[in-house]
């Protein structure tokens, strides 16, 4: 047990969370390490728990090269991991500009982590997101009107069609606990200037919105938002199971795209019908439809009045007989 005399409760809490995740893991693991308190506490706990299980664990530090002296920050984070008994490597990435700097940096980071995991032979990448990150994600999704799937937040684990399992063992742990764990273990986290830059919506939520909610509504707002995410994720998984059971019977390949049975779409309740539309379009064309676009496509099945094709990102939806076709937009 971790309740030995002298063991700080915050260290014990982080180790328990990591232990539970490692118990479901086979083979080597990668720890995504930025040097901040969350990932540093995760790395320290993983070093301890992996060593006890004979699991090879390696910290991977991504240098986005977006800030001055980022190489020194990355090297320092790697050195802290090595001092704890982890293997460590620094991977420098080139961040593009598509979809904005945050999305581009995230894409470059995850791609590099997946490549590193493959190189190491690791099936699992551990990420340091906490309950506070989850609450902020839900609140941002709510403000943007992004729908249930966005409000479901981050899963504790997921697997891409190809690539590693992404696991978040600290998703039920508060950020203050990781800060306390680092302090107790004599680890000095790096403070990312971006984490206090109000130009970022997430920072405004963290620094301004959440404190007001806690002050006005009482403590426990972050936990309540995280519980909401967990419940909505259960709903989303149930809907996905329904879609998976239904999709093969109602979707067919069409020239340059796909087609969906009008009768089947119309027979389903709106929540399932709209999810089918979004899922089919995203699977085929890799684009996410907005709420209004989804409803317009659904109207081709449930409110057909002879309306013409609907322009969507990278594709066009149209009514053809008893089917709704979604096909690639013709090159101009």
Task: Give the pLDDT confidence of 197-241 residue by residue, as tens digits.
Answer: 888 889 999 999 999 999 999 999 999 999 999 998 898 888 888
**Could you give the CA distance from residue 92 to residue 89 in angstroms, rounded to a whole number?**
10
Residue 2: pLDDT band (50, 70, 90) is low
Question: What does the pLDDT look like over 159-184, one tens digit per residue?
Answer: 877 889 999 999 999 999 999 999 99
pLDDT for 212 equals 95
pLDDT for 155 equals 92
Percentages helix, strand, coil for the chain (3-state, rounded to 5) are 55, 15, 30
**Could you give the CA distance from residue 30 to residue 113 in angstroms, rounded to a whole number?**
8
37 secondary structure, DSSP code = H
146 pLDDT higher than 90: no
pTM of the model: 0.83
pLDDT for 152 equals 87
Residue 138: pLDDT band (50, 70, 90) is very high
pLDDT for 101 equals 76
pLDDT for 331 equals 58
**CA triplet 167, 15, 109: central angle to 5 degrees?**
35
Mean pLDDT of the chain: 92
* Cα dihedral 128/62/163/107 (nearest 10): 90
* Cα dihedral 264/159/108/228 (nearest 10): 70
Angle, helix 37-53 to helix 9-22, in steps of 10 degrees: 60
């Amino acid at each position: 047990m971790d309740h030995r005399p002298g063991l700080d409760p915050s260290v014990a809490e982080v180790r328990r969370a990591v232990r539970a995740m490692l118990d479901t893991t086979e083979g080597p693991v990668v720890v995504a390490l930025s040097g901040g308190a969350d990932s540093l506490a995760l790395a320290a706990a993983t070093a301890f728990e992996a060593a006890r299980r004979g699991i090879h664990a390696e910290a991977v530090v991504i240098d986005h090269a977006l800030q001055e002296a980022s190489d020194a920050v990355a090297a320092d984070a790697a050195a802290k991991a090595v001092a704890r008994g982890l293997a460590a490597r620094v991977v420098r990435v080139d961040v593009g500009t598509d979809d904005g700097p945050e999305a581009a940096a995230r894409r470059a980071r995850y791609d590099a982590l997946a490549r590193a995991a493959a190189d190491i032979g690791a099936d699992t990448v551990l990420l340091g997101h906490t309950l506070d990150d989850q609450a902020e994600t839900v609140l941002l999704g709510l403000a943007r009107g992004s729908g249930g799937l966005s409000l479901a937040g981050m899963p504790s684990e997921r697997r891409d069609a190809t690539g590693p399992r992404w696991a978040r063992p600290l998703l039920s742990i508060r950020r203050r606990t990781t800060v306390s764990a680092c302090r107790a273990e004599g680890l000095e986290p790096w403070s990312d200037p971006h984490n206090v830059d109000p130009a970022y919506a997430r920072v405004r939520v963290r620094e301004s919105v959440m404190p007001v909610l806690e002050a006005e509504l009482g403590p426990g707002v972050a936990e309540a938002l995280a519980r909401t995410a967990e419940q909505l994720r259960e709903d989303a998984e149930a809907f996905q199971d329904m879609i998976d059971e239904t999709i093969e019977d109602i979707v067919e390949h069409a020239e340059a795209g796909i087609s969906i049975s009008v009768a089947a779409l119309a027979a389903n309740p709106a929540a399932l019908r709209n999810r089918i539309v979004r899922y089919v379009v995203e699977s085929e064309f890799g684009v996410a439809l907005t709420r209004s676009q989804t409803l317009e496509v659904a109207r081709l099945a449930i409110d057909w009045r002879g309306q013409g094709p609907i322009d969507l990102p990278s594709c066009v939806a149209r009514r053809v007989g008893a089917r709704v076709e979604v096909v690639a937009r013709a090159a101009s």
